[in-house]
A and B are shown apart, each in its own frame.
Chain A
C-alpha cells in the first residue's frame, strides 16, 4: 500500500517554464550543449560556466534556477549554493535597476570607503549584495576600479563619482529619481 494522495514535488523546470519560458529555454539549450554525464566530478568542471550563463540570462540566480542546474548537473543544491555564495560575482538576489558599487580597493579603503558603504546601507536599508525592496538600487562593493586618484570611488551603473564623502550619498541617490 502506498500513498497517492500527494504527487511528487513539482520539478524546477516546470516551475521555471511557467515563470520565464524564454529565459528557461535558453538556459536549457545551453546546458544541453554541455558534455554532461553521470560522473559528477566531470560535471563539476561545467558548473561555473553554467552558473555564469544562467546569471547572464536571468540577471541573478534564483532558487529555481539553482535547482534546475542541480538536477541537470547532478550536483547538490547545497554545493551549488556554496559556489554562489563564495564568488562575489554571483548573486541569488534580483539586481536593482541601478547598480551602486562602492570601491573598497586599498586606496579607497584608506580614504574611508567603509564609511561610504555604511552610509549607503543606512540610507537604503539594505546590506551589501542586496537590492532594495522596490528593486531600484543594488548595493555592491568592488575591488580597485582603477581610479585611485579619485578615491574613494563610487560607481552607479556606468557613472563614476570621485572623492565621495558620506554627505554626498543622498545627492548621488537623488540623481536617480526615475
Chain B
C-alpha cells in the first residue's frame, strides 16, 4: 500500500493513497462537517455526490476550496480545515440551504435526528441572512407508508443511491433544474404509482425530514381508548433488539421483557408476538418446501415473508411469480388468526378486535392495507407502527422504559420459539424452515440445529446443507440489488437451488426502514444480529413445529398444515404489476 504524506492544520499525517481529505482528517481527530456524503457501511456503498459543499477545506496553492469528502489526498498537500475562508464558505453554504428550508423543526418528524438541524447547531447559526422564495411541492402520502415532503429536500441525493444503486429499484432520480430541482419519480408521480417497494431504505438514508414514514400513532391511541374495542398488539422479531437504542441503551440490548411491559402500560388488552406467527409461517412454508423437494417440482421455493421483496417481484419479475411460497407473511398470518381463531375464543366480533403491529418495516404498512388482506372489508391488521413510532408512544406516555421490570407475553398468540425470533435477521427464515424440514424428513428430533453458513450480514450467502439425508442447495440474500442478481441467474437458468430466502433490507429486518436511525452504522447492525441469535439460543424450544400453542392451533382449529382452512387463512396470491 502506497502511503501519502500531507499536513492538515499543521499536523503531519500519513494515509494510504486514495484516502479522502475527510477521512485523513478524521485520523487526526478533526471532524469536518458533511451533509450529502455518507458511508453506507452496511450496504457496502459510499455516497459521494460532492453536491452540498458543506465539507469544503482550503488547500495551499489551489485557487478554489475543495470538497473534502471527495478530494483524495496528495503527497505534500497542505490542508486547512478551519481557516477563516473555509469556515465562512461553509456558513454561506448552510445559510443558503436554510434560506429555502421550511425551518419548522419543532413539529418535524426528524426533530433532534436531522443532520441539517445538527449542522445549524454545530455552526451556531442564529440568523438566516438570505431570504429566498420557498419551493412548494405537494406532500406525497399516497402509499400509506412513506411520506415525501420535497420542500425539505436538500438535494444530497442519498436516497437515489439507496434506491438505484443498493436496491436497484430505480424509482428516484434528480429531476427538473434550478429552483425547481428535486429528487423523485418521473413527473413527480405519487410513489404508489411507481414500482417503489416501500422498503424504506431511502428513508433511512435521508438526512432531513424529506423522507419519513407515515405514522398511525394517533389512530392507535384513539382505538386503545375506545371502550368498545379490544385492542391487541403483535411485535415483530427484530423490534426487541433495536428498541433499546431509542432509550440510550447500547446497540444489541435485548429488551423483550421491557417492551412487553411498556405495551401493557400503553393500554393494549393483550400483548402477543409475531414470533408466534413466524412459527406458523414455518409450518405452512416448510410443508410447501418439503412437498416441492419431494416432487422435485417448481424449485427453488422463494420465501414470501418480506412485503418489500413481494412488491419487488410483482413489479420486476412477474414471470417468476410461481416460485415464491404462497404463505402469507407472519404479520398477516397473525392478523387472520387473531380475527378468526382468537376472536372466536374471546367472543369478540372481528370488527371490534383491533390488531396493531409493531414492525421494523415500512413495507408492512403498505402490506397491511392490501385489499386481499381485508376479508369482507375488515382488515386483518388494522394499524402498523414502526419501532420508532413505538418508542415515541412510550416516551409520550411517560413510561420510563429502562426502569421497567420484564414481563411475559400473553397466551396463546404470544408463545414462540427460537426459530420464530431469527426471522429478524437475514438467513433466519431459511434456517427456521430447515430446522423443521430436517426433523420432519428424518422423523427425528435433531439436536444440531445451527445453520451457521447462512447467518451473517453478507448480501448473498450460498451453502449446501444436509437435510433429511439430502444435500440441498440453498441461498440467502438481502438487499434487493442482490436479489436482482440472483433472480437474473435463475431466470437465465444459470443457477439451481432448492430454496432461497430473500429480504428487501440489507441484513434483513434488523435494518428495516422503520428501525431506529443508525447512520448506516455496520457495528450497530452486527450487535442487533448477534442479539437475535442470542435470544434464539436462550429459548428452551427452538423449532417451530414444537411450539405447543402452534400444535394446539392445528389440533383445535386448522387441522393439518396446508389444509383447506389453512389455505384460506394463511395463504395468498400475487399480482403482476
| Separation of A1 and B326 alpha carbons in the complex (Å) | 7
Contact A1 B573 (CB under 8 A): yes
Contact A77 B186 (CB under 8 A): yes
| Separation of A27 and B319 alpha carbons in the complex (Å) | 27
Apart from the given pairs A1-B571, A66-B186, A78-B186, 19 other A-B contacts in the complex at a CB distance below 8 Å? A1-B573, A2-B322, A3-B574, A3-B575, A8-B318, A8-B576, A9-B577, A63-B186, A76-B164, A76-B170, A76-B171, A76-B173, A78-B175, A78-B194, A81-B173, A82-B186, A86-B175, A86-B176, A92-B187
Point out the residue from A7, A8, A82 that lies within 8 Å of B173, measured CB to CB: A82
Interface centre among A1, A7, A78, A79 (most CB of B within 10 A): A78
| Separation of A153 and B238 alpha carbons in the complex (Å) | 65
| Separation of A9 and B188 alpha carbons in the complex (Å) | 21
Q: Is A170 in contact with chain B by the CB < 8 A criterion?
A: no
- State the 7 A-B residue pairs at the shortest beta-carbon distance, nearest first: A76-B170, A81-B186, A78-B173, A3-B573, A2-B322, A82-B173, A79-B173
CB distance from A109 to the nearest CB of B (A): 15
Interface centre among B174, B186, B319, B577 (most CB of A within 10 A): B186
Point out the residue from B184, B318, B326, B575 that lies within 8 Å of A78, measured CB to CB: B184
Q: Is A165 in contact with chain B by the CB < 8 A criterion?
A: no
Chain B residues lying within 8 Å of A106, measured Cβ to Cβ, are none
Chain B residues lying within 8 Å of A6, measured Cβ to Cβ, are 575-576
**Interface contact tally, CB-CB below 8 A:** 61
Contact B573 A80 (CB under 8 A): no
Counting chain A residues whose Cβ lies within 8 A of the other chain, the interface size class is 10 to 19
| Separation of A1 and B173 alpha carbons in the complex (Å) | 36
Contact B321 A80 (CB under 8 A): no
* Contact surface of A with B, Cβ cutoff 8 Å: 1-3, 6-9, 63, 66, 76-82, 85-86, 92
| Separation of A9 and B577 alpha carbons in the complex (Å) | 6
| Separation of A78 and B167 alpha carbons in the complex (Å) | 15
Point out the residue from B170, B176, B187, B321 that lies within 8 Å of A79, measured CB to CB: B170
Interface string of B166-207 (1 = CB under 8 A from A): 000011111111000000111100000010000000000000
Chain A residues lying within 8 Å of B173, measured Cβ to Cβ, are 76, 78-79, 81-82
CB distance from A10 to the nearest CB of B (A): 11
| Separation of A79 and B168 alpha carbons in the complex (Å) | 12
Q: Given known contacts A7-B576, A9-B576, is B174 in contact with A82 (CB within 8 Å)? A: yes
CB<8 Å pairs between A and B, sample of 30: A1-B326, A1-B571, A2-B321, A3-B321, A3-B575, A6-B575, A6-B576, A7-B576, A8-B318, A8-B319, A9-B577, A63-B186, A63-B187, A66-B186, A76-B170, A76-B173, A77-B185, A77-B186, A78-B171, A78-B175, A78-B184, A78-B185, A79-B173, A80-B186, A81-B173, A82-B173, A82-B175, A85-B175, A86-B175, A92-B187
